[in-house]
Structure 1
Amino acid sequence: MADILLVHGSCHGAWCWRDVVPHLEALGHTPRTIDMPSHGQDTTPIEDVTLETCTAAVVEALATDTIVVAHSWGGFPATLAADIAPQKIKRLIYLCAYVPREGLSLVDMRKLAPRQPILKAINRAEDSKSYTTFPDQTRDVFYADCPEGTTDYALQHLTPQATLPQMTPARLRAGHLTVARSYIRCLYDEAIPTEFQAEMAADFPARDVYEMATSHSPFFADPKGLVALIDRIVKD
């Protein structure tokens, strides 16, 4: 079965895969999670977090023939990791994630979307080095269709997200183009508009683009469905 590395998105940590890991294990896969710099149990100071350190965290976690599942912002460091070590990645699965474009930062790409629903939830720090989420907007933007208690659990674990790595333009090489890719669109996403997800996946083979009828957090909204889809992709 597959070695699967789960890469979280902004403000989250390895904790967000809580409901996914046991279902992957039940199917015989070996799921692994990481805390990106300054998230979860990682104690890196916000001011030391860069796109390079985030990318390095993914590269260091790769084994051999790893399936990388990257959520949201995680698509950026995961793609750059594929540039550096394509021989270690069997497939890169973008889970309602950003697919970097040469010379554009995540902020640049977000602005290309036709709608900006996430902005109402973003609470920028006074020094502009990081942001968190407004608690009263967190559920609607990230967890609208998730089970009761999800938002409370998340608010206990969400951590500030460094802005520098998300303002840094991606400098792409050819490595990531040699890695097989799949995209999972979330149809009711209120963080990254689903129509923009479709645009980012427009050049993926049609057979490698999938859909889930969830919000931005399918790992909480429908973990069994997400795992079934990952398993299907891995076996195809």
Structure 2
Amino acid sequence: MAALPLKEQTHFVLVHGACHGAWSWYKLKLRLESAGQRVTALDLAASGIKTKAIEDVGSFHEYTEPLLELLVKLPPDQKVVIVGHSLGGLNLALAMEKYPEKVVAGVFLTAFMPDITHKPSYVVEQYSARTPASEWLDTQFAPFGSVNAPLTSMFFGHKFLSSKLYQLCPIEDLELAKALIRPSSLFIEDLSKAKNFSKQGFESVPRVYVVCDEDLAIPGEFQRWMIENGGVKDVMEIEGADHMPMLSKPNELCDCLLHIASKYT
């Protein structure tokens, strides 16, 4: 797809998914910057090169703090396009809820996308209910937190990475992931107690969903269910993309984001 000409530079903020970090955007960051855009790929708490461990993160809000802090520090006249991948869609939603005036558009890249009718945990709970335990393969889960605030950590296994997430990626990117992924959490227990997102906050920001049709982790059928459930009208699709389109289809994803920026900025 051909992107419309951008009148001015767009600031893209890239939010990774569970167990990943800013490193997962390395191909896309280069391409967007080469197209003249400003890009911030950040590590959420206990991710990437952050020193904190997931066991030291007490809530989803705390996990999201690096993104929220970035938005707070933006100059008053500056807005961003936030791209949330996979679990990062929920971090994106929290940021849109708290600082809607800072976000031009929220892009859900084969990501969990909540609604305003149910608890923030709803889509992840639905996903878990529809995903047999056997589908997680060698992914490891373990309890952490306190009696009053229990959480469950999650660490993708090598079989899960290769067959569910990276099956269409270059083998080098799979090896990079094996070396760099870290334990994370879906934060279902915490999100189930959180307030619903609102029409005035989260839903007031334009939302775009990007479908990846070869995704075996969050299948296309579930992606489209979330689109319908969330009432999103602006939907784009990257053909031949697995769960990691920033690595398997970086050129197509770059074109997609430039098109979105040209439409909303």
Q: TM-score, normalised by structure 2?
A: 0.82
Separation in structure 2 between the aligned mates of residue 55 and residue 11 of structure 1, nearest angstrom = 14
* SS of corresponding position for 2:182: coil
Q: TM-score, normalised by structure 1?
A: 0.91
Between 171-180 and 66-75, report the one with greater CA deviation.
Answer: 171-180
Change in Cα spacing, 1:230 to 1:115, as seen in structure 2 (3 Å) is farther
Give 1:216's aligned amino acid.
H
Separation in structure 1 between the aligned mates of residue 202 and residue 60 of structure 2, nearest angstrom = 16
**Number of the residue aligned with 1:230:** 257
| 1:93 corresponds to which of 95, 100, 107 | 107
**Number of the residue aligned with 2:141:** 124
**8 Å contact 2:11–2:37 — kept in the other structure?**
yes
**Number of the residue aligned with 1:21:** 29
Change in Cα spacing, 1:80 to 1:91, as seen in structure 2 (3 Å) is same
Between 56-65 and 120-129, report the one with greater CA deviation.
Answer: 120-129
Separation in structure 2 between the aligned mates of residue 17 and residue 32 of structure 1, nearest angstrom = 10
* SS of corresponding position for 1:130: strand
* SS of corresponding position for 2:214: coil
**8 Å contact 2:136–2:160 — kept in the other structure?**
no
* SS of corresponding position for 1:19: helix
Q: Once the 2 structures are TM-superposed, how far is the Cα of residue 113 of structure 1 from its aligned partner?
A: 4.3
Which of the two has higher C-alpha Rg?
A: 2
**Number of the residue aligned with 2:181:** 158
Q: Once the 2 structures are TM-superposed, how far is the Cα of residue 41 of structure 1 from its aligned partner?
A: 1.0
Q: Once the 2 structures are TM-superposed, how far is the Cα of residue 115 of structure 1 from its aligned partner?
A: 7.0
Runs (4+) off by over 6 Å:
114-117
Change in Cα spacing, 1:117 to 1:25, as seen in structure 2 (3 Å) is farther
Separation in structure 1 between the aligned mates of residue 134 and residue 210 of structure 2, nearest angstrom = 19
**Number of the residue aligned with 2:119:** 103
Equivalent runs, 1:1-236 vs 2, <5 Å: 1-49=9-57, 50-62=59-71, 63=74, 64-101=78-115, 102-105=118-121, 107-111=124-128, 113=130, 118-125=135-142, 129-163=152-186, 165-167=187-189, 168-169=191-192, 170-171=194-195, 172-173=197-198, 174-202=200-228, 203-205=231-233, 208-213=234-239, 214-236=241-263
Change in Cα spacing, 1:35 to 1:77, as seen in structure 2 (3 Å) is same
- Where structure 1 has 5 or more consecutive residues not aligned to the other structure, the ranges are none
- Where structure 2 has 5 or more consecutive residues not aligned to the other structure, the ranges are 1-8, 145-150
**Number of the residue aligned with 2:4:** none
Q: How big is each residue's C-alpha offset from its partner over 1:7-39, in whole Å with a ceiling of 9 and x where there is no partner?
A: 000000000001011100011110101101101
